[in-house]
């Protein structure tokens, strides 16, 4: 029996690695900007990025960023983020399979092998720098007890002892990768993001105000709201983990929901810390079953369905659960806040 389980785990790990390789190859064949330009005009900004009006929500000031080297997009207005695969699924309404076939076919222009190698090398350097930044933020953090991070957690109905993957840190919100300019320090709850091997590769910071009694808020000159949550390091594939090693995990979107589910169920919970990443988590070989704990509403249920499709493609057993209909997410349900 033990040998059989070990064999299945080895096959699962091999299947997951092959699946990830095929996804990376499909996405690496194209400039993400060529996929996105069918829906919005993009102009170059800085050394690495292009920007345009967000195709996912109405806006007057461009806040939608596309980075061809990373193959990633992010909107600072509505929070939409992901890669070519998620863009085709979310904007064009394609299934996971149809989006993959579009990227492996001749729907979009392809880039040369030489350009692909150059980008891979540049991306490796940039990824190492980003992980280094995340680790420096984590190294400067403190245990949460008696800090604004603990105050924030208690304000969200989290009464359990906070786990080691939650810390408090004073760190800048603003960082310009091109110029090296940084802003002043702000208080934040820091959530550790680890890869499939358990290595810290990122930190999601929930910036705080009023001693932790609320999240940071600022309205920009164009009327848009600055994000209270910012991720430093690598997010794609990584997770904010709560609980012991387990073959069966609950998976949700945000850290507040993860803390809620851990407290209320006692199960091992992983948070994707981003809607797009919910379908992109990379699992160690011991994970065999995933229950997607989604948000309510059209967007939340669609994200849960995409995550289920991706996990089923890895050969995992998958199911899903949602809060009661009256509540948007798990933390709102805990606090009795109806949508």
- What is the tens place of the pLDDT at every residue in 254-275? 999 999 999 999 999 999 999 8
pLDDT of residue 1: 45
Closest to 80 measured CA to CA, from 60, 61, 66, 93: 66
Mean pLDDT of 50-58: 93
Per-residue burial over 39-65, b if 16 or more Cβ lie within 10 Å, else e, is bbebeeeeebbbbbbbbbeebeebbbb
Cα 308–Cα 328–Cα 245 angle in degrees, nearest 5 = 45
Q: Residues 111-136: pLDDT tens digits?
A: 788 877 887 788 789 889 999 999 99
Judged by average pLDDT, the poorest of 107-116, 207-216, 313-322 is 107-116
Confidence of residue 45 (pLDDT cuts 50, 70, 90): confident
pLDDT of residue 21: 82
Give pLDDT, residue 28.
Answer: 83
pTM: 0.76
pLDDT of residue 10: 54
Mean pLDDT value of segment 306-322? 95
What does the pLDDT average to over 328-336? 98
What pLDDT shows up at residue 220? 78
Which of 25-29, 92-96, 208-212 is least confident?
A: 25-29
Among 89-98, 182-191, 241-250, 263-272, the minimum mean pLDDT is found in 89-98
- Check whether 187 has a pLDDT greater than 60: yes
With cut-offs at 50, 70 and 90, classify the pLDDT of residue 110: confident
**Which domains are present in the chain?**
2-110 (3.90.580.10), 141-234 (no CATH), 236-339 (3.40.1360.10)
Binned at pLDDT 50, 70 and 90, residue 2 comes out as: very low
The pair of structure tokens assigned to 297 is 């509403």
The answer to whether 109 touches 103, Cβ cutoff 8 Å, is no
Give the residue-averaged pLDDT of 149-156: 99
DSSP 157-205: T--SPPPTTEEEEEEES-B-TTT--B--EEEEEEEEEE-TTS-EEEEEE
Task: Give the helix, strand, coil percentages of the chain, each rounded to 5.
Answer: 35, 25, 40
State percent of the chain over pLDDT 70. 94
The confidence score (pLDDT) of residue 264 equals 98
Which whole number is the average pLDDT over 181-199? Answer: 97
Write down the pLDDT at residue 289: 98
């Amino acid at each position: 029996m033990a040998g059989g389980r070990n064999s299945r785990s080895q096959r699962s790990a091999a299947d997951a690695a092959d699946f990830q390789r095929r996804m990376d190859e499909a996405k690496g064949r194209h400039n993400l900007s060529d996929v996105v330009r069918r829906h919005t005009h993009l102009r170059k900004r800085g050394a690495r990025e292009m920007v345009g009006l967000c195709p996912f929500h109405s806006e007057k000031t461009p806040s939608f960023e596309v980075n061809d080297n990373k193959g990633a997009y992010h909107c600072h207005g509505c929070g939409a983020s992901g890669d070519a695969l998620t863009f085709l699924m979310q904007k064009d309404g394609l299934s996971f399979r149809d989006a993959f076939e579009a990227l492996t076919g001749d729907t979009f222009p392809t880039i040369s092998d030489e350009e692909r190698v150059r980008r891979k090398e540049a991306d490796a350097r940039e990824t190492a720098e980003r992980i280094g930044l995340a680790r420096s933020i984590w190294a400067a953090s403190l245990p949460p007890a008696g800090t604004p991070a603990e105050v924030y957690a208690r304000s969200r109905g989290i009464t359990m002892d906070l786990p080691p993957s939650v810390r408090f840190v004073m760190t800048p919100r603003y960082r310009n990768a091109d110029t090296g300019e940084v802003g002043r320090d702000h208080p934040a709850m820091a959530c550790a993001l680890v890869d499939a091997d358990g290595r810290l590769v990122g930190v999601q910071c929930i910036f705080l105000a009023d001693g932790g009694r609320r999240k940071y808020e600022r309205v920009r000159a164009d009327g848009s709201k600055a994000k209270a949550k910012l991720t430093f390091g690598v997010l794609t594939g990584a997770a904010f983990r709560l609980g012991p090693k387990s073959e069966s995990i609950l998976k949700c979107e945000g850290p507040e929901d993860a803390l809620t589910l851990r407290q209320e169920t006692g199960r091992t919970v992983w948070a994707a810390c981003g809607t797009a990443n919910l379908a992109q988590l990379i699992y160690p070989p011991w994970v065999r079953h995933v229950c997607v704990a989604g948000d309510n509403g059209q967007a939340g249920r669609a994200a849960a369905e995409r995550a289920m499709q991706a996990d089923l493609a890895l050969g995992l057993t998958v199911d899903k659960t949602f809060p009661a209909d009256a509540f948007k997410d798990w933390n709102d349900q805990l606090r009795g806040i109806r949508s």
